[in-house]
Amino acid sequence: MPSADHELGSARAVSTSPEHQTATTFLPHVQGLRAIAVLCVVLYHFWPGRLTGGYVGVDIFFVISGFLITAHLMRELTATGTVRLGQFWARRARRLLPASLLVLLFSALVAMSPYLTPTSALPNEVREILASTFYVENWYLAINSADYLNHSGDPTTVQHYWSLSLEEQFYVMWPLLMLLAAWIGVKWFSGARRKAVIVTLAVISLASFVFCVVFTLTDPAPAYFVTFGRMWQFGVGAMIALVPWLRVKHPLASFVLGWAGLVAILYAAVQFDGQTPFPGYMAAIPTLGAAAVIAASNTERWWYPTRVLAIRPAQFIGDISYSLYLWHWPLIIIAPSVPFWGLTIYHRLALLVLCFVLAWLTKRFVEDPARRWKVLTSRPPRVTLFSSLGAMLLVAVVAVAAWGVNAPAYAAGVRGLEELRDDPPTCFGAAVVLDEACGDVDFGDAVLPAPGFAGVDRPADEQCFVQLTDSRPVSCTFGSDDPEAPRVALVGDSHAYQLLSTFQQLAEANGWQLVTWFKGACPWNTTPLSTPGAFGEACTQWRDEVRAAITDADLDAVFTAAIATTPYSAQGFDSSYDAAVSGYQEAWSEVLDEGTPVITVVDNPVWETDPNKCLRTRDAATCVGARDDVLVQDDPLRGAAGGIEGVTLLDFTDVFCGPEVCSTVVGGANIYRDQDHLTVTFANSLAPWYEQAVADALAAR
């Protein structure tokens, strides 16, 4: 997140606040580095498939903040022997909160509108606005195991506040740590304040780095957000501020160091992606790259990085970087829901320009005036702090009001969804295509569940689904308790889990006992994933445990499904496709050899973004996708099932797609709850065909 610490190193605007009355040296290349960082993040969010590692921009900001804040605190500590905490925190509040709370207020108002925020997303949107308002968003995401790099889940308009929350926690802890270290230096080390501060922060940074590496390997999703796992990046910047010999003045050394740092940042931005084990040890590349750029301080020649980064465009972007960071993400999330707004390259470029305009306006009319507002700067720090608390409470009230306004609609949506599941219309959903008796039934403009509520139309038994680095072979049992009842297993990744509610109903209706094993992004296959680190290892371990459990379960049939885009390791095969096909066949062979039939299904289309964003503002006939773009033509499940005795393959491709395009609504049924998972409502419309396939498999056994 781009920390708004411009004035800490600026001679252009001498602070008149009592805690900082002397000007300091402005470092243009640090401001230019800030521009590179924010552009990395913004371009990554606009085009994640192009700049796959742009998320490292946040790591650059952490280094910059560590450098500037530590330098400021050390100057005050050296001059006065202490740090006036109230004044320091009040200054931070005046600098950061006005723009931050403005964008949060905007997001809360947007949440009130069912046209811009789907009703199903409202509870999480409000919770995250509240978490962001009180600067604990990073912990909220860590606790909920959000996978930031793999874009899992349904992101809110304020998810990017995780980094701002982490920085605010840094602003609280860092001066306290430095004061404690200085006190230790005075009391036990003959007044060696600076040395004690350096040693303390170095030890903390080293411990943080070790923790970061280990935690990323064992639990990467929360590791991305946890505060202590990121402190070492602030510490790297702090060391440059505290250790003079780290700031390189020699012309040649500065030239080489600065350009090497920029190359490291560019390498990470281009080569890293969602599969990179991050932050972990890989975060050292952009972190040390940013540190190298800051440390390269010679400005003698125009081709030195210090001079290149000082050009006016870079300075302008650096100046507005804080507001640009704040505004860009909410606009990206909201834009697809705006009526008549398309998703073409021209719309994205126009939105990018709008982000810059809003950032400049916010800098000019919110950030700068608030920082110098005399009603606060001329009064004790507690006035600023209590005013900030009041403003935060105001945003919180508006966010809660957004829930209050829409709570009746949310409750009505829940009731409507239950009624739709219990009593769907005749020839609803897939039956329009698959049931010859339905003929030319036309549901007109009906879309059920409504696009604003499709997100909650998912299986309810989340305790049966494990994900991320959890390798426990969690199993759930539903349906008949009769020990003689046919035992049917449902096993696979989230595309198997999306069928759970449908198969629960089938088990109850047919007297089956349903046994389940689900793990996110981990199909029932023996080929290792190409995903490195703890997640890939957890998938392998889960499969081994499930294989043993299936062997001991005395099953009568197994139904499996999987997303077709799973990344498999191609080691030992001509392609990842061949590896996947072989892995499925090997996994199935163990139950087939015992005489247990296997039923599988060709995967449904996978969209770039949630189709409901389109359906909320456009006619369903326009919310379609080219077949070649959204449908994986070579689904390894189809290849694995071909010609193998005992395996039944279901293929509903003609339900989802015509010859040229794939639909988002069929027979009045809203197919998707997000970009690739089916609504329970639509899955239920396929129930007769699932039921027949399982019944035939059981009868043939």
What is the per-residue DSSP string for 510-546? HT-EEEEEEETT--S-SSPBS--HHHHHHHHHHHHHH
Identify the residue whose tokens are 């001079």. Answer: 307
Buried/exposed code over 227-249 (b: 16+ C-beta within 10 A; e: otherwise): bebbbbbbbbbbbbbbeeeeebe
- What pLDDT shows up at residue 6? 47
Is the backbone peptide bond immediately before 688 cis, with ω within 30 degrees of 0? no
142 pairs with which residues across the strands?
none
How many C-beta atoms surround the C-beta of residue 563 within 10 A? 22
Taking Cα atoms as reference points, which of 540, 513, 35 lies closest to residue 293? Answer: 35
Helix (H, G, I), strand (E, B), or coil: what is residue 333?
Answer: helix
Give the whole-angstrom CA distance, residue 414 versus residue 418: 6
Contacts of 248 (CB under 8 A, 6+ apart): 254, 257, 295, 296, 297, 298
- Compute the CA torsion angle 684, 688, 690, 694 (nearest 10 deg): 140
Check whether 148 has a pLDDT greater than 80.
no
Check whether 24 has a pLDDT greater than 70.
no
Give the whole-angstrom CA distance, residue 274 versus residue 277: 8
Check whether 559 has a pLDDT greater than 90.
yes
Can you say how many angstroms the Cα of residue 206 is from the centroid of all Cα atoms in its chain? 27
Segment 538-559 shows an average pLDDT of 95
Place 666 in a pLDDT band, splitting at 50, 70 and 90.
Answer: very high
Check whether 303 has a pLDDT greater than 50.
yes
Can you say how many angstroms the Cα of residue 689 is from the centroid of all Cα atoms in its chain? 36
The pair of structure tokens assigned to 220 is: 């990467």
Tell me what percent of the residues of the chain surpass a pLDDT of 90. 77
- What pLDDT shows up at residue 444? 85
Segment 533-542 shows an average pLDDT of 87
**What are the φ and ψ backbone dihedral angles of 598, each rounded to 5 degrees?**
-120, 135
Buried/exposed code over 625-649 (b: 16+ C-beta within 10 A; e: otherwise): bebeebbbeebbbbbbbeeeebbbb
Say if CB 634 and CB 568 are below 8 A apart. no
Side-chain half-sphere CA neighbours of 570 within 13 A? 6
- What pLDDT shows up at residue 153? 58
Give the whole-angstrom CA distance, residue 392 versus residue 439: 58
Give the whole-angstrom CA distance, residue 257 versus residue 249: 11
Check whether 4 has a pLDDT greater than 80.
no
Segment 652-674 shows an average pLDDT of 96
**What's 47's DSSP letter?**
-
Number of helices (H), then strands (E), belonging to the chain: the values are 29, 11
Check whether 3 has a pLDDT greater than 60.
no
Give the whole-angstrom CA distance, residue 463 versus residue 474: 8
Number of residues written out for the chain: 701
Give the whole-angstrom CA distance, residue 149 versus residue 278: 9
Within 553-686, residue ranges assigned H as helices are 576-592, 612-615, 627-630, 636-641, 653-656, 680-685
Check whether 20 has a pLDDT greater than 50.
no
**What are the φ and ψ backbone dihedral angles of 562, each rounded to 5 degrees?**
-160, 150
- What pLDDT shows up at residue 23? 33
Tell me what percent of the residues of the chain surpass a pLDDT of 70. 95
The predicted-structure confidence for 475-519, as pLDDT tens digits, reads as follows 999 999 999 999 999 999 999 999 999 999 999 999 999 999 999
Identify the top-confidence range among 282-291, 413-422, 531-540: 282-291
How many C-beta atoms surround the C-beta of residue 253 within 10 A? 13
Give the whole-angstrom CA distance, residue 449 versus residue 672: 10
Region of residue 644 (phi > 0: left; psi between -120 and 50: alpha; otherwise: beta): beta
Question: Mean pLDDT score of the chain, rounded to an integer?
Answer: 91
Check whether 13 has a pLDDT greater than 50.
no
Contacts of 222 (CB under 8 A, 6+ apart): 141, 142, 143, 145, 215
Give the whole-angstrom CA distance, residue 27 versus residue 38: 17
- What pLDDT shows up at residue 299? 83
- Return the amino acid letter for 460: A
- What pLDDT shows up at residue 1? 65
Within 219-250, residue ranges assigned H as helices are 220-223, 231-242
The pTM for the full model equals 0.88
Give the whole-angstrom CA distance, residue 397 versus residue 383: 21
Place 22 in a pLDDT band, splitting at 50, 70 and 90.
Answer: very low
**What are the φ and ψ backbone dihedral angles of 139, each rounded to 5 degrees?**
-75, -35
Place 154 in a pLDDT band, splitting at 50, 70 and 90.
Answer: confident
- What pLDDT shows up at residue 10? 38
Check whether 44 has a pLDDT greater than 90.
yes
The predicted-structure confidence for 45-65, as pLDDT tens digits, reads as follows 999 889 999 999 999 999 999
Place 302 in a pLDDT band, splitting at 50, 70 and 90.
Answer: confident
Place 629 in a pLDDT band, splitting at 50, 70 and 90.
Answer: very high
Q: Where are the beta strands (DSSP E) in 108-211?
A: none
Contacts of 291 (CB under 8 A, 6+ apart): 63, 236, 237, 239, 240, 261
Taking Cα atoms as reference points, which of 598, 573, 594 lies closest to residue 583? Answer: 573
Place 149 in a pLDDT band, splitting at 50, 70 and 90.
Answer: low
- What pLDDT shows up at residue 17? 35
Segment 519-533 shows an average pLDDT of 90
Helix (H, G, I), strand (E, B), or coil: what is residue 677?
Answer: coil
- Return the amino acid letter for 629: D
Place 18 in a pLDDT band, splitting at 50, 70 and 90.
Answer: very low
The predicted-structure confidence for 131-146, as pLDDT tens digits, reads as follows 999 999 999 999 886 6
Check whether 351 has a pLDDT greater than 60.
yes
Buried/exposed code over 71-106 (b: 16+ C-beta within 10 A; e: otherwise): bbbbbbbeeeeebbeebbbbbbbbbbbbbbbbbbbb
Identify the residue whose tokens are 């009746």. Answer: 408
